[in-house]
Structure 1
Amino acid sequence: MELIINIFSLVGSLALFLFGMKTMSEGLEKFAGDRLRSILAAMTKNRVMGVLTGILITALIQSSSATTVMVVSFVNAGLMTLAQSIGVIMGANIGTTVTAWIISAVGFKVNIAAFAIPLLAIGMPLIFSGKGNRKSIGEFIFGFSFLFMGLSFLQDAATEMNIGDMVAGMLAHVPQDSFFTIILFVIVGALVTMIVQASAATMAITLMLFGMNIPGFGFEQAAALAMGQNIGTTITAFMASLTANTQARRAALAHMFFNVFGVVVFLIVFYPACDAVSWVVENCLGGGNDLFKLSAFHTAFNIINTLLLIGFVKQIEMLVCRVLPMKAQDEDYRLRFISGGLLSTAELSIMEAQKEIHSFAERCQRMAGFVPTLLETKDEMEFNKLFARIEKYENITDSMEMEIASYLNKVSEGHLSDASKTQIQKMLRQISELESIGDSVYNLGRTLNRHRMHCQESFTADQMQHMKTMLQLVDAALTEMLKRIDLPTTKNGVKVSLNIEHEINNYRTQLKNQNLHDVNAGLYDYQLGVFYVDFISECEKLGDYVMNVVQAGKGLNNDFGDGPINGQG
């Protein structure tokens, strides 16, 4: 029974450590998220600045996985090139070594858990503060406290279970001087990190075991575990990229290649490298703390690996592009920017969703562009082919609405600021109206199809000209919508769209009145007039939906015209 309790204590301590790291990282990201993204955007102009940026951000948020996933998200959203991402990933590997130095310096020598409890008292009022920044700082303090409390409890639980003796017993059957043993430790380090998905946690365990002076687990074995962790940590970004676009998958693959290459190189010179690090620590750092050797090796591994490959960013880019080629029609019928499994911050997720909504709007305009061609097509086969394409696009818009809405709903389940909550509501309304635009365009095509099937009389020259003019107005409205959908909507911006909407409404009314006059005058029969008015009226509805999208961006209510507020779909 005591053994079971000790096992749960060990696992619980590790869980507290991981939870603390996650909370601390998320708190800092929420507090400085916009600043971090600004740094990423501004400081990745060249590979050296990209590396420095990766070091800085990872040192701040204490998670190379979080930085790498953020980078993959940026590449997925088109905010960062593949070459820029490689430099940041290199820097992230160096930045994550700060954790090992902190633990080596204070983690096992000072009872930092005793200071962690008072820190919780400081963080408590901040956690319950109404202001977002204060709450984020409180989360950071709580995370910091939990992290070191977990580390302290982990050491206590390991001592209670005599982990040192257990590990020594297992290692007694492993050849100590065999290079195969070093490779085995690399594999174990990779597997454990893949499971835990936090290299900092496995590094903390490695430091703890190394500090116990376990027979058979010396500096070389610990260094091999640390190298394996560099491979295992790539799994987080790799999993995040599985549902992302090709460029994002390439960034994750570059991360994996970079770390695997470093491990292979260091395995070739493993023993001399260990001796060199030991000499530097003993002669330059006083040699008073053996844990510094492991931290120094971890840092040297990542710095040297970066120096070896920083001049070959273009070649790495070419390699991953060859391994993952961009297929023809790649992602034509899938979401381009958002992916349900992507481990992003809420703000970054909203940014990606906005990109996806812009793509949605572009698809709607492209779909509407098929209608003028459909109107003028005489060949039945070409007509049917184009109408089928419109129908296919309509199905795609239905799917896009559902998938983006599902994504936004998942984002809304997290901790969001009031501004982010409001933004999500606006975006949900936008996608609803965009789906209605898709429905409306399909209705235009269906009206033309019904006319072809059930009416023997062709549209007159005047009717054709009026329908083309109406479609031009609709296209102008869609073009203006695309200009506004990514930008903060201003009153002047809404006014431009509103003027086009009024023009569409007035033209619709004019054409309906003219139609009554023409039918009564016998210029064409009543049935043709019905199809004609249906087409014109549907164009006016489409204009209403476009206006709704524009106004949703500003959070306004529908206060114009006689069109519907909500989509048909």
Structure 2
Amino acid sequence: MLLATTTINALEISIGLLGGLALFLYGMHKMSDGLKAAAGEGMKLLLARLTNNRFAAALTGAAVTAVIQSSSVTTVLVVGFVSAGLMSLQQSVGVIMGSNIGTTITAQIIAFKVTKYAWLMVAAGFASWSFSRSSTLRDYGAMLLGLGLLFLGMDQMSVATYPLRSYEPFIDLMGRMDNPLLAILLGAAFTALVQSSSATTGVVILLASQGVLSLEAGIALAIGANIGTCFTAVISSFGKSADARRAAIVHVLFNVIGALLWFFLIGYLAEIARAISPSFADLEGTARLAAETPRQIANANTFFNVANTLLLIWFTGPIANLAIRLIPERPPQEVKQIEPKYLAPEYLQTPALALDRVRLELGHMSSLVVEMLRLAPRAVLHGTTYELRALANLDDDVDLLHAAILNYLGKLQRQELTADDASQLQTHIITANYLENCGDLIETNLVTQGNRRIALRIKVPQTKAETEFERAVLEAMESLVKAIGSGDQELAADIIARRPHIDRLADDVGDLLAAELAMGGEGNEDSLQAFRIQADLLGVMKRLYHNTRRIAELLLDKSE
């Protein structure tokens, strides 16, 4: 009978603990989602406006991670900016260092023990999230709802584990955590499993609030959590560019070096935490541990991460160089098929950043269309079969990027989007369709005409007026690539303003072609075929400028 009772109690504790942990993790996810939606554009601007100041980079990393609550996700986001050339590897080192500070925010909130307000947070957050007409209030409502659920999960875990306070085997197990190496390894393993150092630190604070975990053991577990959080970034870098793998290595180097620096100083760190944390001298034994240790662990965790950043931030250059030496550039390999440069799945959890990645990919796609436009006139009028085939292959690349962008946006649509994000998503879809249509116009119409010219063995002259018109259209599309990549509204307005000039050039070419056909004589078959090819080229170029102008108008509409 006693064995059955023990089994039942163990089962109840396990169910309560796992259920509370699930609620805790879901609450953290919901809180993060609300914050990301409310501050997504701000995060993008913070990362995009980084200077070479290493301290600005560290503060940015801390701010972004305080919102995302995952230093590994911040690392993944930074990798994309390095790959895009928007941030140097040395700048990324500062951001990654600062990201560890951002993860301590949750631990500080948890340590305040405001569980009694959890239901109020849930009620107020749900009301704002469900019934508010303001998207901003809905986002902050989701954040408050998530925070309330987080505390409810903590409370459930606390209730479930309360009987363990007097369970000797569990107390003995917690006593073994005073071995710092064992505690660090356990903290790293648990964090790699749940993929959140904030969650690990939260569970550590929970155990401390039961009075069964010493401060030194809690600090060691938190240090291990910092190492375990590298697991996600390392896994996500597999198969990626050298810069992606270097950023992941920077994350590992920073956290491992930090752990090694403090491994033999955990006792001193504990004394610092006791000195800067409130004391409850009127309590004794387990009750005093339960009252003091949670806040001490949270403060030690913050102090540890801030101190590591202030110490190692002076070595961003050497750390970046070490990462480059550890991850050398692979010899270039022949790419059989084009692939998207910017559409990493990690960004889908943060719509504002994901949409920015799509904008960069649209710039990549438009640069291919520009290359097609640059090659098309010569290939159609004078080129070989090989040149025409190369032009068709470029359209295949444009089609692949078009499909990849639409697929990525389709996945993004499943996320909770603000009205502005949903509008931007639709603009990206329309832009991608216009660019894909440009490629099809060149491939379907002009490549076909070029093959006809070769089959008929005719020569097609090219006048100065035609060359000037084609150059004007090409320059408009080159400006569009820059406008998409930078969001430059003046460039977009300039593309639209070129319409009268380009229309006049097109009319001049049309008049000239008609005059040449009349001079060539109705019975001259070669002149007639040449006219058809030139007229088709003129029509396609006009439609290409039309698409270019429509995309520029979309860019201006978004700004308004």
Give the TM-score of the pair, scaled to structure 2.
0.84
Amino acid of the structure 1 residue aligned with 2:396: N
Amino acid of the structure 1 residue aligned with 2:125: G
Establish whether residue 50 from structure 1 lines up as the match of residue 48 from structure 2: no
Question: Matched residues in 1 for 2:477 and 2:224: separation?
Answer: 53
What is the SS of the residue equivalent to 1:369?
helix
Q: Deviations over 1:128-170 (max 9, x none)?
A: 2111111112112111111111111111122257796554465
- Tell me the residue number matched to 1:495: 496
Q: Deviations over 1:238-271 (max 9, x none)?
A: 445557654344323311221122223333xx2x
Amino acid of the structure 2 residue aligned with 1:306: T
CA RMSD of aligned residues (A): 3.3
Cα pair distance change 1:73/1:25, threshold 3 Å: farther
- Tell me the residue number matched to 1:195: 193
Question: Matched residues in 2 for 1:450 and 1:472: separation?
Answer: 23
What is the SS of the residue equivalent to 2:542?
helix
- Tell me the residue number matched to 1:357: 362
Establish whether residue 147 from structure 1 lines up as the match of residue 150 from structure 2: yes
Question: Matched residues in 2 for 1:469 and 1:328: separation?
Answer: 41
- Tell me the residue number matched to 1:565: none
Is the CA contact 1:367–1:438 (under 8 Å) kept in the aligned structure 2? yes
Amino acid of the structure 1 residue aligned with 2:536: D
Amino acid of the structure 1 residue aligned with 2:545: G
- Tell me the residue number matched to 1:92: 99
Question: Matched residues in 1 for 2:277 and 2:457: separation?
Answer: 94
Question: Matched residues in 1 for 2:257 and 2:146: separation?
Answer: 33
Identity of aligned residues (%): 28
Is the CA contact 1:113–1:149 (under 8 Å) kept in the aligned structure 2? yes
- Tell me the residue number matched to 1:156: 159
Establish whether residue 412 from structure 1 lines up as the match of residue 404 from structure 2: no
What is the SS of the residue equivalent to 2:345?
coil
Is the CA contact 1:481–1:497 (under 8 Å) kept in the aligned structure 2? no
- Tell me the residue number matched to 1:561: none
Question: Matched residues in 1 for 2:420 and 2:457: separation?
Answer: 56
Is the CA contact 2:476–2:495 (under 8 Å) kept in the aligned structure 1? no
- Tell me the residue number matched to 2:134: 131
Segment of structure 1 superposing worse, 482-491 or 418-427:
482-491
Question: Matched residues in 2 for 1:411 and 1:212: separation?
Answer: 42
Cα pair distance change 1:44/1:233, threshold 3 Å: farther
Question: Matched residues in 2 for 1:64 and 1:323: separation?
Answer: 22
What is the SS of the residue equivalent to 1:342?
helix
1:318 to 317, 321, 327: 321
What is the SS of the residue equivalent to 2:459?
coil
Amino acid of the structure 1 residue aligned with 2:457: Q
Question: Matched residues in 2 for 1:66 and 1:328: separation?
Answer: 28
Amino acid of the structure 2 residue aligned with 1:427: H
> What residue ranges of structure 2 are gaps of 5+ in the alignment?
1-7, 281-291
Establish whether residue 25 from structure 1 lines up as the match of residue 35 from structure 2: no
2:108 to 101, 108, 111: 101
Q: CA deviation at 1:40?
A: 4.2
Segment of structure 1 superposing worse, 219-228 or 434-443:
219-228
Q: Deviations over 1:473-500 (max 9, x none)?
A: 3313313433543334799446324335
Question: Matched residues in 1 for 2:278 and 2:465: separation?
Answer: 87
Q: CA deviation at 1:521?
A: 4.7
Establish whether residue 265 from structure 1 lines up as the match of residue 261 from structure 2: yes
Q: Deviations over 1:88-140 (max 9, x none)?
A: 22122123223333333x33xxxx33311123332233212111111112112
- Tell me the residue number matched to 1:441: 442
How many residue pairs were aligned? 534
For 1:42-441, what aligned pairs fall within 5 Å after superposition? Answer: 42=49, 44-59=51-66, 62-104=69-111, 106-107=112-113, 112-127=114-129, 128-159=131-162, 165=168, 167-168=170-171, 182-214=180-212, 218-242=214-238, 246-267=242-263, 270=264, 273-283=265-275, 285=277, 288=280, 289-327=292-330, 333-342=338-347, 344-374=349-379, 383-441=384-442
Segment of structure 1 superposing worse, 441-450 or 145-154:
441-450
Question: Matched residues in 2 for 1:469 and 1:317: separation?
Answer: 48
Is the CA contact 1:44–1:53 (under 8 Å) kept in the aligned structure 2? no
Q: CA deviation at 1:400?
A: 0.4
Give the TM-score of the pair, scaled to structure 1.
0.83
Amino acid of the structure 1 residue aligned with 2:414: E
Question: Matched residues in 2 for 1:237 and 1:324: separation?
Answer: 15
Is the CA contact 2:379–2:450 (under 8 Å) kept in the aligned structure 1? no
Question: Matched residues in 1 for 2:419 and 2:278: separation?
Answer: 52
Amino acid of the structure 1 residue aligned with 2:98: G
Is the CA contact 1:73–1:344 (under 8 Å) kept in the aligned structure 2? no
> What residue ranges of structure 1 are gaps of 5+ in the alignment?
557-569
Question: Matched residues in 2 for 1:163 and 1:345: separation?
Answer: 44
Question: Matched residues in 1 for 2:429 and 2:498: separation?
Answer: 20
Q: CA deviation at 1:5?
A: 4.9
Q: CA deviation at 1:530?
A: 3.3
